[in-house]
Amino acid sequence: MIAFRLVAIVLIAALLGGCVTRPTARVEIAEVAGTTEEAVVLTCTIIASNTGETELPLRMVDYTLVIDGRRVFRGRRSAEATLSRQAEHSIELPVPVLWTDLPEGEVEFRLEGQLGYTLPGIFLEAMYDARLYRPTVGFEYEGTLDGTALRGG
C-alpha cells in the first residue's frame, strides 16, 4: 500500500511539472586551469539553458571523467543558481587528473554527468528534498589530452 502511494505521489509530481520546459545542459569549454606536481586541473564549463517561461532552481551537478575507458575522477558540486526563464547560466567544474591516471601521449577523455534541478512549487521542492522526485538533465563532452605536452615534455 505504501509503495502504491509513493508511485502515485511521483506520478502526480511528474504531471504537475509536465507544463514546465525541461532545461538542457552542454559542456562548452574544457581547458587546463593549472598543474601541480601531482596533477593537472581541468576546468569544464557547463552551460545550462532554459527556453521555458518558468525559473528553475538548479541543484547538484554530478560528473565523471573517463580516460581511455577508465573512470579516473568523480565529482559533485552545487550549481548554486536559479536558471532564469529564457536564459543560460554557466557552471564551472574543477576536474583534477592525477599524473598517474594520465598516460604519456594523446589520450581520449570523456566528461559526463547530470545536472539536477527543481520544478517550481512548494510541493515539488518538498518532493525533491525528500528524494522522491529529482529531475535531471544529462551532458557529455569528448576530447583529447596530451599527457606529454601537459607535463612540459
What secondary structure does DSSP assign to the chain, as a single string?
Answer: -HHHHHHHHHHHHHHHHTTSPPPEEEEEEEEEEEE-SSEEEEEEEEEEEE-SSS-EEEEEEEEEEEETTEEEEEEEEEEEEEE-TTEEEEEEEEEEEEGGGS-SSEEEEEEEEEEEE--SSHHHHHHHHTTS---EEEEEEEEEEEHHHHTT-
- Mean pLDDT is lowest, of 35-44, 51-60, 111-120, 127-136, for 127-136
> What mean pLDDT is reported for the chain?
87
pLDDT of residue 5: 55
Q: What is the dihedral of CA 51, 62, 100, 146, to 10 degrees?
A: -10
What value does the mean pLDDT take over residues 63-81? 95
Rounded Cα gap, residues 62 and 78, in angstroms: 9
Q: What's the pLDDT at 122?
A: 85
Q: What is the pLDDT of residue 93?
A: 95
Total domain count, the chain: 1
Decide if pLDDT at 12 tops 80. no
How far is residue 50's CA from residue 23's CA, in Å, rounded to a whole number? 5
Domain range enclosing 103? 2-150
Query: In terms of Cα–Cα distance, which of 94, 109, 119 is closest to 34?
Result: 94
CATH, residue 91: 2.60.40.1820
Is residue 106 scored above 80 in pLDDT?
yes
Report, as an integer, the average pLDDT of 61-81: 95
